[in-house]
Structure 1
Amino acid sequence: MSESIVISQGTKTEKYKSLLPQIAAIIEGEPDMIANMANICAALKAQFQWWWVGFYIVRKDELVLGPFQGPIACTRIRKSRGVCGTSWADDKTVVVADVNQFPGHIACSSASQSEIVLPLHWKGAVIAVLDIDSEQLAHFDNTDQEQLEKLIKVLEANMIETGEA
């Protein structure tokens, strides 16, 4: 396991192409999902300098704050509430160009202006969501969605290989 990452320069695509294999190497064979989530957040935050990067973990009927990088965040989110709860309920990636226009948006911070949320699966069910916020409007695009969905698949594959979620 590597204990550091190389911060890449260049286009957004080039940054992802450099970072994703590094993250895969960091989490490979590590069975602890929380440890892997924490390292993923740190790597993404270091590479992209987003406002907030973190996971919310499904606990019964709500999402509970998990590992993250950034300012203090909302601790619990109900299913179908806000962008995270919507991603969980709909089991799909949600990209929001302007969170202030999203019905039912939960404003954990007024600095957050755009957001992308991706579901994480284990045994066919959503067990967590990866939530990323930016201080810029319309910050996330198809490149982010495609590359972050690849990252989620790497994390899911590692959970299957280690047999733990």
Structure 2
Amino acid sequence: MFTKEAYKGTLEEQYNTLSKQLDALLTGETDLIANLANASALLSQFLDDVNWVGFYLLKEEGLVLGPFQGLPACVKIPIGKGVCGTAVAKNETMLVDDVHQFPGHIACDAASRSEIVIPIRKDEAIVGILDIDSPLLARFTEEEQGYLEDFVAVLEKHLI
């Protein structure tokens, strides 16, 4: 079910399959960490040309590292700092074509060149973010942003 061959067709069809698989994977499970771990593994297996896929959770002191796939990462990120903290401060998705041009970028992995960060909400409040890094410049498109936001919407409906 979760093989690369399962994702055939247009980009829209591929992402629709991905979101359906996430929904099936999370249905019946209420543990946040288990669900985020499976979501990061599913995305990491699906996406090409990425070097980090994971989550940060909003705690009192800022963003704290959650489940991820990739090299070891920064454990805490202050709100308003780096791409992740800025996404929370602005309450919006951040699509960055070149992280080295982003003011205050926090370099957890020197190989990362582009990044997308999507806020995760529960009852309208941000509870965390999905962070995806790529070693390629401009890896993520606005079209993919929409599909990844849909993926996050599926994840959000499983948050307790």
The answer to whether the superposition gives a TM-score over 0.5 is: yes
- Name 1:36's counterpart in structure 2: 35
9-18 or 46-55, which moves further after superposition?
9-18
Shift of 1:37: 0.7
- Name 1:114's counterpart in structure 2: 114
- Name 1:55's counterpart in structure 2: 55
Aligned partners of 2:22 and 2:155 also within 8 Å: no
73-82 or 23-32, which moves further after superposition?
23-32
SS at match of 1:127: strand
- Cα distance between partner residues in 1 of 2:104 and 2:22: 33
Shift of 1:153: 1.0
Aligned partners of 1:114 and 1:139 also within 8 Å: yes
- Name 2:152's counterpart in structure 1: 152
Unaligned runs of 5+ in 2: none
Aligned partners of 1:52 and 1:134 also within 8 Å: yes
Identity, in percent, stands at 46
- Name 1:5's counterpart in structure 2: 2
107-116 or 141-150, which moves further after superposition?
141-150
CA shift in 2, pair 1:10/1:51, >3 Å: farther
Shift of 1:82: 0.2
Aligned residue identity for 1:102: F
* RMSD after superposition: 1.3
- Cα distance between partner residues in 2 of 1:112 and 1:119: 20
- Cα distance between partner residues in 2 of 1:125 and 1:90: 12
- Name 1:22's counterpart in structure 2: 21
- Name 2:66's counterpart in structure 1: 66
Deviations 1:4-58 (A, max 9, x none): 5132245533321221111110011211111111101000101114210000001
Q: How many residues align?
A: 157
Deviations 1:126-164 (A, max 9, x none): 1100000001000001122111111111111122xxxx2
Unaligned runs of 5+ in 1: none
Aligned partners of 2:93 and 2:119 also within 8 Å: yes
Aligned partners of 2:27 and 2:158 also within 8 Å: yes
